[in-house]
Structure 1
């Protein structure tokens, strides 16, 4: 009996993933690993010459007839690493290959178990315009931006993570290179050297990248996607990272991919406001996209962010559009046009920011910030947040992280809750050819948003697609600012009204309070 009990408990562990692999501070495992976790091989190797240039290292991971090739990297102090993200459970084995005998033909095997709770795998495009995790769970993008939080003090970085733990955001846009700021004591940079200009572009600083590894892993463990901005124009010549030679850019990208692609929560953003980096041509950006696409064995999401000049987001190496356009999400009719052009998920990562600075892009009220999220959703797209307020120490969430001061975050948390209660296929515009502020799924689910209007009633009228006489619906009134959901009494039974619409058979309307930022939710009753 004891033996049977032991076997039964062991089976529960393997099938349910109850006993998951322990990970180190960089979020990697070296023994048993969970599906979509990060498995690491660490090897001792040569220190002579320049290991970043002189040593080639890769591994082939196998499960049955399937093989996945992964590049390794030098982590300093004679240590070489290869990281792998397995996407299936069971036994895996590997063989290394290198131009150095000490690293070549090393073999091993490891076990992949079921993913732990909260591990849904990497995010990918779903249903053309939306996102989902690898296990099919919908990913409702509710992002924020903090460009240089990684370049602040350790205390500030921890504060940023604490803020994110209580915030509604599930994606963080963050830069690898620093902004044009005064360096902090003991600040590390992606390359070794002496700031501001004396860099050795042939040697990376492993200490900097170890911290990046750790922060990406911490975001992952909080359920936050790390949208890594690979280049940006905010250097302005201070450090020189915005105008490195092409060969250095290529080497940098390969190193970043080798270190970070095995983290399931990584997205690649080729650049922020790429068109402000005047030294780079459009064909160079195409090249960087292709390099990242070819070097990433897991196919993480890829995009690029613009200032004025739009990138061609229809290119096959682009997975989704990352846009800067505040006006587009002042109403859903404008926002939906971008979906029609690109036929990919559209994320308005920058729609201006909540704040009180002198620049017009940092003067949104909290009400306007929240309004943009709702309009983006009604257009079947996604929106990003940030904030920037005047402060005595020139700190802001947008630039440096830390704490949030604005009033939009709790309302965005409420918005995310409503969003996540939507059909898992994603919200689709209901009638984009007419002023009709509804998204959802025809004949099943409708979410309407009245923007700045102050209606006192809304006639119960639905666009015709999929509807039939006698269908029944229930309704709720949503106050998006005061964060309340109020059920409407009774059931609405519809009948055809004209060539385009069905209405409540008794001509009823839904009473509204005459305030802005109101919404209604309508769900079919079977």
Structure 2
């Protein structure tokens, strides 16, 4: 009997009709049953007369399945065994405690992602460099597109296209006239009802490898930076594409759906279109993966029911992360800061902040209960910028990702929030566990001083409680033991930027000594 892990991918494939246009002329679906669940999922045509159905089981034990549809006169059935998950397999990520995330096995998930728009559409060599960089950096989410992208430093052709057909002749494309192409379709010859399975199969292999690495694949379904006409498809064509995407990718546990990158600068879609697209994913994705939509200038209404979390690009020249707690209150959902500007040196203001500023924005977002995202845009003689192509990382902020993620993982409960009730902390940022009961029990609190440079800080705690103090240098990635304290006490600091102090209650027997300070 075939075996697959819980939250793994079981795939059935078989021969069927290949005449006409199998992408629209025939259908296929399968029902999967166990003693704990029953789910019907749609399959897809994969070319060469082959049809496939993919399924992600949510329980261990024996499953039976039944395949049917107009794709074949035959009826198929079978069974397989679902075993325990292993390695990085904790199941799909879900929203938990309103503002945070957990894997399906209830393990908290703390998102620190990066953006590489079309990394998977580059050469095999560059893709392997990207995987290596991701592993070294410690990112646990990556945003990328299904469609190729046309923008600065992105004037070449992708390795493949999602549809059968031919693109416009780009030989006349230059850096001086490239914007002339973005709202035209002349020269493209696509059959928007006939997919190129090779394009999607390659993306699936990338998603599979990301899953093994424990990295979430945040799929950007549509984007406006387009000279091929993919952003101008009709609703009927959009719907076919979305259903095909769901049938191919939804069974992978690490999938997130982002309806659009910068939805508000699409010239051919309106709010009604985006609501239709978002609701289609909500209704037809059998696994209810996370769903978002990303802005350029104007925020979407993240309160809408099909949106599971906020995906935010900065609106202010300087501030974004500083608004995290306000957006939490407004939208009552997790706040993912997918674009807070990029570390780099290109001409655009969104792509030339320092590594120190990127890390500062990360910390502002983290300690306010949000989840920041990374990007890097350093000029390269071959125009290979991480933000779009992946490859190698050249900046400084990525080196701090594992350290910051480690701090997040030490949070009691599922995540942090800003404590605005402590009026003595008006001049710094105080973070505490989201769960008030856990805060009361653990006394866990982090004081972040951002670009300020205090040489010491005084604290006023209970006389009958003892706190372990640590000094965190978020830039130099160090955590220094600062002793055990009670009542009113002082912590010495080095008088430089990006420092934080972490306090935690100590429970159980204690031996008082030179390392303990009390009221003075």
Asked whether the two chains share a fold, i.e. TM above 0.5, the reply is yes
Matches within 5 A, 1:345-360: 345-360=334-349
**Correspondence 1:339 to 2:328:** yes
| Contact 2:322 2:365 (8 Å CA) reproduced | no
Cα shift at 1:65: 6.7
CA change 1:40–1:331 in 2 (3 A) is closer
Matches within 5 A, 1:254-265: 254-265=243-254
Q: Kindly report structure 1 stretches of 4+ aligned residues shifted beyond 3 Å.
A: 100-103, 181-185, 326-333
| Contact 1:120 1:134 (8 Å CA) reproduced | yes
CA change 1:172–1:272 in 2 (3 A) is same
Secondary structure (helix, strand or coil) at the match of 1:405 reads coil
CA change 1:331–1:455 in 2 (3 A) is farther
2:164 corresponding residue in structure 1: 192
Deviations 1:462-483 (A, max 9, x none): 6xxxxx6512211000111111
2:502 corresponding residue in structure 1: 521
Q: Which runs of 5+ in 2 are unaligned?
A: 169-187, 434-438, 508-520
Secondary structure (helix, strand or coil) at the match of 1:107 reads strand
**Correspondence 1:482 to 2:471:** no
| Contact 2:17 2:72 (8 Å CA) reproduced | no
**Correspondence 1:93 to 2:82:** no
Q: 2:36, 2:61 → 1: CA distance? A: 13
| Contact 1:332 1:437 (8 Å CA) reproduced | no
Deviations 1:312-358 (A, max 9, x none): 11011100000012759858653210000011000010000000111
TM-score normalized by structure 1?
Answer: 0.88
Secondary structure (helix, strand or coil) at the match of 1:278 reads coil
Matches within 5 A, 1:345-494: 345-431=334-420, 435=426, 436-441=428-433, 442-443=439-440, 444=442, 445-461=444-460, 470-489=464-483, 491-494=484-487
**Correspondence 1:292 to 2:284:** no
Q: 2:35, 2:374 → 1: CA distance? A: 44
Q: Which runs of 5+ in 1 are unaligned?
A: 1-29, 463-467, 495-503
1:12 corresponding residue in structure 2: none
| Contact 1:354 1:363 (8 Å CA) reproduced | yes
Cα shift at 1:64: 2.6
Cα shift at 1:242: 0.9
Q: 1:307, 1:56 → 2: CA distance? A: 38
Deviations 1:412-445 (A, max 9, x none): 2211111111113211222268535111233321
Matches within 5 A, 1:274-289: 274-289=263-278
| Contact 2:321 2:337 (8 Å CA) reproduced | no
2:233 paired residue among 236, 244, 253: 244
Q: 2:137, 2:474 → 1: CA distance? A: 17
1:68 corresponding residue in structure 2: 39
Cα shift at 1:461: 3.3
Q: 1:450, 1:516 → 2: CA distance? A: 7
| Contact 1:332 1:378 (8 Å CA) reproduced | no
2:491 corresponding residue in structure 1: 510
Number of matched pairs: 475
Deviations 1:64-103 (A, max 9, x none): 3732010000000000000000010001011112024435
2:185 corresponding residue in structure 1: none
Q: 1:332, 1:460 → 2: CA distance? A: 26
Cα shift at 1:154: 1.7
Q: 1:218, 1:411 → 2: CA distance? A: 23
Q: 1:131, 1:226 → 2: CA distance? A: 15
Secondary structure (helix, strand or coil) at the match of 2:333 reads coil
1:224 paired residue among 210, 215, 229: 215
Q: 1:80, 1:298 → 2: CA distance? A: 21
Secondary structure (helix, strand or coil) at the match of 1:144 reads strand
Q: 2:451, 2:22 → 1: CA distance? A: 60
| Contact 2:47 2:197 (8 Å CA) reproduced | yes
Deviations 1:134-192 (A, max 9, x none): 0011101000000011221121112111111211200000011001144448x211101
Secondary structure (helix, strand or coil) at the match of 2:108 reads coil
| Contact 2:263 2:296 (8 Å CA) reproduced | yes
CA change 1:251–1:275 in 2 (3 A) is same
Q: 1:480, 1:100 → 2: CA distance? A: 57
Deviations 1:235-263 (A, max 9, x none): 1xx10011111110000000000000000
Deviations 1:22-78 (A, max 9, x none): xxxxxxxx9200000000000111111110011111011111373201000000000
Q: 2:28, 2:387 → 1: CA distance? A: 38
Q: 2:460, 2:420 → 1: CA distance? A: 12
Q: 1:446, 1:309 → 2: CA distance? A: 34
Q: 1:328, 1:116 → 2: CA distance? A: 44
Deviations 1:367-402 (A, max 9, x none): 000001111011111100001011211110001111
Secondary structure (helix, strand or coil) at the match of 1:173 reads strand
Q: 1:54, 1:326 → 2: CA distance? A: 45
1:116 corresponding residue in structure 2: 86
